[in-house]
Amino acid sequence: MKAVEKYSYGYEIARSWVRWTLRGLFYRKVVIRGLEKIDPKKPIIIAGNHQNALIDALNILSILKAQPIFLARADIFKKKTMAIILNWMKIIPVYRIRDGFDSLQKNDEVFEKCAKILSKGRSLAIFPEGNHGDYRTLRMLKKGLARVAFGAEKVRNYELGVQIVPIGLDYSHFEKFRARVSISIGDPIIVNDFSDLYKEDVQKGYRALNDEIRKRLFPHMIDVPWQAIYEGVMGMRSVYGKIYREKNNLPGKTIFNRFDADKKLIDDIREVYEEKPEQTEEISNKLVRYLKSLDRMNLRNHILEAGSFSLFRLLGESMWLVLMSPLFLYGLVNNFVVFTVPHVLTRTKIKDKQFRSSVAYVLAFVILLPLFLAIQTLIIAVVFKTWWITLAYLISIIPLGLFAIHYSFWFKKTRARLKFWYMSLRKNPKIISLVKTRKELISDLDSLIS
């Protein structure tokens, strides 16, 4: 292992690009709370929940001031070229029993490395679940983080003072471009609070520390542990969330307002599900069928929630779309490859949904965006031979590309409103049925979660 703890200017340039493109372009909004709980002067291990593959690591990377060192399973380091790349990315291996019993001895070197990194005031980052999952739930924690934390303390005679800082990540959508992300940081855990138990019994020490990590991480993420009603509970967040907040006098203006209210809603569902499992599952299944019916008609719950739309408003929105269409076409044409190719490729070639956003981000913003920015700007410079036209073109590409993305959102929303208005006017049986079903669901949920 090379000196990954050393400051790298090349790495910092790359991280600045990631921070800008991830938080400014790929996602619509990234909100953070509790950043003050990360003390840069303390030896810290970041422990995050893991639901969105590489994107989780990049989001953590983007909020830290220092250059964190990530730990990953050793088998991905087998190829020499990959090992060099991972080392440059400040990722070091941790060996498991499945890597071979002899390989476990290499962890002594890893623990010494971690102790050296932490003693220099640098931070480590580990995902204690071990791998990413496709449900918003906190899965069983592996022993890796505990082994590293205690191992680092042990080689420094338990005088290092390591802290574990839990970080919860939540995404409004795992795959969609311009989604929203919340990053919530919990209170740090002092590893030496568990060192006596670890000295007495290693496995008990691991379990106690993992239990504490789980306890501290849980409040900072959405946890829906029931597969039988998982889709229904996620649907309740969108269909019933606003009504729930109003009934309980909970604020809903910010992302974290809605996050905290959703946590409370899920807690209420947990109690109800224990008492009335059959009724809860029945309502959950009904809600899932309702959402699938909406999806088949290219409608969304918020359209039915609004109830009605005036023809004057709809005509105004349509006229605005017509007037803005030249800007949309400009943004679309000049960003077509960057925004479209990654989306199509990931949807058709990547089976693991949790990897799609990671691959799409790397393709769009690490590879294609800088490449096509350079190529297209060079073509404009050669054709027009005027510096101010070239500069104006370069400055316009990204903002109008984002405008084109949001224009498509507005177009779909206006189209859905017009469709709902027209079908309601014609008293379409499907719309009447959907409106009726929604009212029944709200009534059912009011009764269930009272």
pLDDT at 36: 95
Task: Quickly state the pLDDT bin for 233 (edges 50, 70, 90).
Answer: very high
| Greater model confidence, 153 or 75 | 153
Task: Quickly state the pLDDT bin for 71 (edges 50, 70, 90).
Answer: confident
**Can you tell me the mean pLDDT for 357-363?**
92
pLDDT at 385: 92
Cα angle, residue 371 at apex, residues 366 and 373 outer, rounded to 5°: 105
Average pLDDT over the chain reads 92
Task: Quickly state the pLDDT bin for 59 (edges 50, 70, 90).
Answer: very high
Task: Quickly state the pLDDT bin for 313 (edges 50, 70, 90).
Answer: very high
pLDDT cut 70: percent of the chain above it: 97
**Can you tell me the mean pLDDT for 58-63?**
93
Give CA–CA dist 60/166, Å, rounded: 11
**310: number of Cβ within 10 Å:** 9
Q: Which of 83-97, 134-148, 343-357 has the lowest mean pLDDT?
A: 83-97
pLDDT at 351: 86
Residues paired with 166 in a beta bridge: 47
Give CA–CA dist 55/402, Å, rounded: 20
Q: Which of 107-121, 225-239, 349-363 has the lowest mean pLDDT?
A: 107-121
Q: CA separation (Å) from 255 to 46, 172, 252, 264, 385?
A: 23, 10, 8, 14, 47
Every domain of the chain and the residues it spans: 9-220, 227-296, 311-438
Q: Long-range contacts for 319-324 (Cβ within 8 Å, ≥24 apart)?
A: 321/407, 321/410, 321/411, 321/414, 324/407
Cα angle, residue 356 at apex, residues 355 and 359 outer, rounded to 5°: 85
**260: number of Cβ within 10 Å:** 17
The H-or-E segment that residue 45 falls in is strand 44-48
Which residue's structure tokens are 């597969």? Answer: 227
Task: Quickly state the pLDDT bin for 295 (edges 50, 70, 90).
Answer: very high
pLDDT at 99: 67
**111: number of Cβ within 10 Å:** 21
Residue 91 has pLDDT above 90, yes or no: no
- 445 sits in the region (left: phi over 0; alpha: psi -120 to 50; else beta) called alpha
Q: Which of 24-38, 112-126, 275-289, 426-440 has the lowest mean pLDDT?
A: 112-126
pLDDT at 1: 54
Token pair of 105 as six digits: 């001895």
Looking at domain 9-220, which CATH architecture does it have? Answer: 3-Layer(aba) Sandwich (3.40)
> pLDDT (tens digit, 9 = 90+) per residue, 134-151?
889 999 998 889 988 998
pLDDT at 72: 79
pLDDT at 100: 65
pLDDT at 103: 67
Strands (E) in 241-399, as ranges, are: none
**Exposed / middle / buried, residue 92 (Cβ in 10 Å: 0-12, 13-18, 19+):** buried
* Closest of 130, 125, 155 to residue 143, by C-alpha: 130
